[in-house]
Structure 1
């Protein structure tokens, strides 16, 4: 279909993070015209804004890639096992430059609304610049971790020191010699504490739910290791479809209690020394997140490690996790060593909750006040569906997406929604759990199979998920999570960290292998669950 005006395209993509750039590449490969609208001043999405000290991926470097540029996979340098935030951002910028993507992207432009026009069979996307872009396809690539969550604590707006959320970090913020507080102790909080503890005068870590953190095992990659990865790259990528979570290894199905206590201890120690949160959770045994007895065995091992590493008994008590080991696995590069420092204090907010944030610091429920120069909020994100509330998305008959998702997010395969024709998501709610680039890779497959088929038709080029298929997928996702301890443990994986959210599952926990089987069946059965109109 030829363009009829400068603002008319085949597809409109919102967001220039990794998912948006994947969509741009795939759409271009189908010779479709594309406009990418990005509110930020550059590409990178999450990796542009989350530039806090210590920010790093916990996915092995060779798996945090765009998988479609084989030459780049073999040649682009990555010196260590894991990538830091600056390295990831540099890589994304490199891909954008290499493939000439910038001319397709309009930066510093916020979307104010997206509406399906059923008469014209196209999406109309309105922006903060006053422009309207129209396109037959609409890709809201808004990011899994894009909407920050702030704690509901009285007085937070009245703090007179430096206040920052980890996702809105001010690069000019100088913490050297300052009295710093950190609220939150997930992966981000742990990375920040580890990075800034040697620089600050004092650090108060306010923790309500201590984490099970294992060593990251970050280290330089030797030339021999890189050569082996290059030789096996194709099979490592293909292996995603045989794995649970797409982190570069096949998870071990072995039941924890099938081994003796001595054998379990040996494997736990081997996993600990190897490093990597995901490998620790899934590389030695296969039932940590489905069997409470197995879960308690690994919990006891990590708790023992904490008690051995943390010298002060009171600090160790405040750092000791008590819940299931069933959140997104956390790993670190010296977190417990940082906590051992004399200038670091761990405050147990479960025993003594935060009562208020004052002009000069944080006051606890027992009246004790900690005076601070800076307060860092590391309380995470309203993940998966939170980003979709950033602007109204209206589908068929003016239906508002967030109204349709009021009780819970509902999608088909994590990629499409009933009543929202020609709208596709690459990391939408109820897509597979796993490595983000692998999710993007995995969901791209059915999306662009559908678009390719749609483009070969001679009629209106409209494709939409059915209500029946959407309900079936939601039911399957619920069934996969029924016995899973991840769903029983409040975290950002189920929006348990967001006040007022019902905590319904946000993920398909059947693994990439299960997802592949379902998608293959969908395609073989004439794209069952989608209707072409």
Structure 2
């Protein structure tokens, strides 16, 4: 019996030998029969692997599992030392989800819900990391992953074979390239002059060190009040001697109302899991939430409107925006009512009127993705916490701290940068990904960001985006599950029909792009997101072309788009056939052998 520890090249030689060719192979003795134990592999002289995945976070792990089920050979490269992706790197104090536990998990096998349960309504970074590690090990997926190895480039050749080069200079070839880098994997670097001159401690939240950081008795600055800053500030405030917060743009922070999940609720979550997940898959943002069936105008009465907002506020998290009034995203009147309600809540919680007004956004609610907070506004009532508005200031660092262009000078022992991410396109643009014309994906997207339903890009054959741009804006695990199932279905079609290449037509790209823009323009924040600096249009990154990074037509409409495509036989896609080899895979001018066609006793 031939084991699986041989390289692809050796296995190919053995298989060719079984068909009448007998090259010399060290350590191999030819016999009258060849029993090949490689039923889950395709051996090819053309490519090292059938598929290469980049990233081992949620999207990478889910993708690996799907590819293994298709009996494709898989290699995954991960820059970190463990699985987790964003949840591996973002281990700063207070890091946790803002999606509820029952819809923030891997879901490719029903057994997962029985083998794993989160501890809190909004799982902590540590708990999410444990979940991903547990599933990876439980399903033996770690064997496919090479850790501590960042991908530098990915180039496709005229034979539709991708060459993946890692930072150590090694190359790997594959037929299918699946970058699963996630929407929030490239942190915005501190752009401030003088950073090298600063002599204190400084950290980026998105690359937080694994060692324990001591905040006690220190003068600390947090730069940024987005989702990351909102989580960090309440956690370190009690330990700091003095905490200063630099804010450029305030956010509408929704209360999380987090709690421990006891054994009774855990049992209820498991029992209802299938129904919960099914509902989330049909909700606009992939959450287990329900439309209210009412608009602000349909209610009319001011007291009743207040009661409805109160109920959403007390429920916590995104229930406020999805279960109060259905027209918060489309009606200026309803949106302003919600905006003013939150401002009043801020003023009621924050005791100092001047600080409260600084924390009150002037732009419309939902122009930026609202963070989910846990005693965020309450932190500003502490005597050791100070809020500084730097909206009109430039800042520079010097050896002891920071100076502002308005003349302020601050000394700090520690600075924490919570500046957000180059969302959706950052990782793929940073990687040197080159398509069939030799042009980089980053250059293509710098001119015009286009995809086909967030999965394919014209001119980049056999590349499937996983959790990249133009997927629905919402809860990633639910969106991811739908996307990867469709990718798997498409790959199965290619394998069964022996199709060597997949690309997308120019017409199909244009049709999707038109639909994407139409869906975005139907929202109120189409007018305000850029001015507010929203990361979902790239407005938080200086020099980045502002564009629509996600799909705002909702998960059900996006799912229907993909399903209609596959049910109709993929009419929008261009498939290319290669040469068919008897009992083999299709290739473009080179032999491959499909081990699924081989049986004991060849």
Q: Quickly name the TM-score band, shorter chain normalised.
A: over 0.9
1:366 and 2:406 matched: yes
Q: Hey, what's the Cα distance between the residues in 2 that align with 1:183 and 1:485? A: 29
2:378 counterpart (333, 337, 340): 337
Cα separation, 2, equivalents of 1:440 and 1:524: 20
Runs of 5+ unmatched residues, structure 2? 1-40, 577-602
Q: Note the C-alpha offset of 1:253.
A: 4.5
Map of 2:558 onto structure 1: 515
Query: Aligned with 1:402: secondary structure?
Result: helix
State the shift of 1:5 in Å: 6.2
Q: Matched residues in 2 for 1:407 and 1:286: separation?
A: 36
TM-score, normalised to structure 1, is: 0.96
In the alignment, which of 311, 329, 346 is matched to residue 306 of structure 1?
A: 346
Match of 2:513 in 1: 474
Contact (CA 8 Å) 2:101, 2:122: kept in 1 or not? yes
Structure 1 residues 339 and 6: alpha-carbon distance in aligned structure 2, compared to 1, 3 A threshold: farther
Query: Shift of residue 408 of structure 1?
Result: 3.4
| Conserved 8 A contact 2:103-2:280 | no
When structure 1 is superposed on structure 2, of 461-470 and 301-310 the one drifting more is 461-470
Matched, 1:143 2:186: no
> Over residues 96-116 of structure 1, what are the superposed CA-to-partner deviations in whole Å (9 max), with x where a residue is unaligned?
110111111111112121111
Greater shift, 466-475 or 178-187, is seen at: 466-475
1:328 counterpart (358, 361, 369): 369
SS of the residue corresponding to residue 555 of structure 2 reads helix
Q: Secondary structure at the match of 2:235?
A: helix
How is 1:10-49 mapped onto 2 (pairs within 5 angstroms)?
A: 10-49=50-89
SS in 2 for 1:381: coil
C-alpha distance in 2, partners of 1:285/1:151?
39
Mapped to 2, the partners of 1:93 and 1:7 lie a distance apart of 29
Superposed displacement of residue 226, structure 1? 2.4
Secondary structure of the corresponding residue to residue 461 of structure 1:
strand
How far did residue 151 of structure 1 move?
4.5
| 1:496 aligned partner | 539
Following TM superposition, by how much is the alpha carbon of 1:7 offset from its aligned partner in structure 2, in angstroms? 7.3
Find 1:525's aligned residue among 543, 568, 574: 568
Contact 2:42 2:72 (8 Å CA) reproduced: no
Q: Gapped runs of 5+ residues in structure 1?
A: none
Partners of 2:57 and 2:83 within 8 A in 1: yes
Deviation at 1:507, TM superposition (A): 0.9
Work out the number of aligned pairs and report it: 529
Quote the residue 1:270 is aligned against. Answer: 311
For residue 279 of structure 2, the aligned residue among 236, 239, 245 is: 239
CA contact (8 A) 2:245 2:387 kept: yes
Deviations 1:404-439 (A, max 9, x none): 111232110101110111100121211111101112
Q: Would the aligned equivalents of 1:253 and 1:287 in 2 still touch at CA under 8 Å?
A: no
Hey, which bits of structure 1, 4+ residues long, moved more than 6 A?
none
1:447 corresponds in structure 2 to: 487
Check conservation: 1:114, 1:394, Cα contact below 8 A.
yes
Deviation digits for residues 465-493 of structure 1 (CA, Å, limit 9, x no counterpart): 22211111111111111132333313111
Query: Which has the higher mean CA deviation after the structures are superposed, 167-176 or 395-404?
Result: 167-176
Q: In 2, Cα distance between the equivalents of 1:419 and 1:511?
A: 27
Quick check: 1:281–1:329 contact (8 Å CA) kept in 2?
A: no
Whole-Å separation in 1 of the counterparts to 2:315 and 2:195: 41
> How many angstroms apart in 2 are the aligned matches of 1:307 and 1:203?
21
Aligned pair 1:180/2:220, yes or no? yes
Measured against aligned partners, the alpha-carbon deviations of 1:440-486 in whole angstroms (never above 9, x if no partner) come to 1121132111101000013x421112221111111111111113233
Work out whether 1:155 is the aligned partner of 2:194. Answer: yes
RMSD: 1.6
Please give the residue correspondences for 1:19-418 in structure 2 after superposition, counting only pairs within 5 Å. Answer: 19-119=59-159, 121-170=160-209, 171-259=211-299, 260-276=301-317, 278-326=318-366, 327-350=368-391, 352-418=392-458
